[in-house]
Chains A and B, each alone.
Chain A
């Protein structure tokens, strides 16, 4: 297990960090259970936990770079790609090809993180003030 903290920037007009993080997290879940398969009664909508920086209010997705994410054969990447306006088109094309090649199988989450994303280890996140909690690890 390799925990990674992914602070989400508010790069989409009309979306703050929390909203964009929530939307991305929902799309990660859709890799495994596409929206076309979800029921309106489904409670599960997100894959990974998210945390909020106590000072800045920025939200980070708490992922696991080695965790295998199942890619449903019915996956649709349209909405996920729309949440990555800062990612170069060539990289997006590569992601699409990678997902297509692994439909019905699984891929490590680390392979899905864009190059434009900030990735923090636990030590780095702690140093940046993400964890003021009194409960010690």
Chain B
């Protein structure tokens, strides 16, 4: 086999053009570098195998379409604007880029989070963000203990996530985590959750069981890491319908590793912050 590590004395990695054709570096995303994720959802391409990032619905004719990424690996906001026009755009599926098909979905129109407001894609710190003002949540098939990374923002009354739980054969909801309510002293995580560790913006974070503190600490864009133990069923991003309005945390990226993962959290945080520039 001929040695092609060099082309005419130039290392092959430094060849930008060959015979008039641009040589493109293969894409390497967060999930390619830090393998073993159970699921990864983002407003950017985070895996070389990813094709579409989300599926959206416009609320004029209720037509749906898949949305991919542009040449920079960013969510194709032009495609969202083109599909929605003057209608609002809602997320029906946030595609899992890990290759495990653990897509986060919402089949009820009234519970779908929003990405487009009839004029433009909703953004935070210059990047698209999925948001909700009412009981929006996305359901995933993942049901194990988890190491979670999220780029997100808590509005008052919002819930980051929830594991469903069966009691007497019926679904209950005590296994919510990170509920934030301005001025409140309510518990911020349910009785079925064990929080092993938390990090906020690259540093260790002591999570008090106080929803008012959670709101204060996370009502601006944050990079949150959680290590959770739970015996619940499928994970929701956000909180299932409740008597009050519990929106989901506005979200830009949500990555789930099983608790057997041995990746160093700070290394993954460096990758995430390199894109989102949070801290």
Contacts and interface: CB of A to CB of B under 8 A. Distances in A.
A44 B191 contact: no
B109 interface: yes
B163 interface: no
B172 A54 contact: yes
Nearest to B62: A33
Interface string B136-165: 000000000000000000000001000000
Contacts of A134: 174, 186-187, 190-191
Interface of chain A: mostly helix, strand, loop or mixed: loop
A136 B173 CA distance: 13
Interface of A: 3, 25, 29, 32-33, 39, 41-57, 62, 122, 125-126, 130-137
A45 to B, nearest CB: 5
Interface stretch (B196-204, B222-230, B235-243): B235-243
A43 B66 CA distance: 11
B57 interface: yes
11 contacts: A43-B55, A43-B107, A44-B62, A44-B108, A47-B109, A52-B171, A53-B170, A54-B171, A57-B169, A135-B244, A136-B244
A137 B243 contact: yes
Given A126-B243, A135-B246, A48 B108 contact: yes
Nearest to B184: A136
B212 to A, nearest CB: 12
Contact of A42 (B64, B172, B187, B241): B64
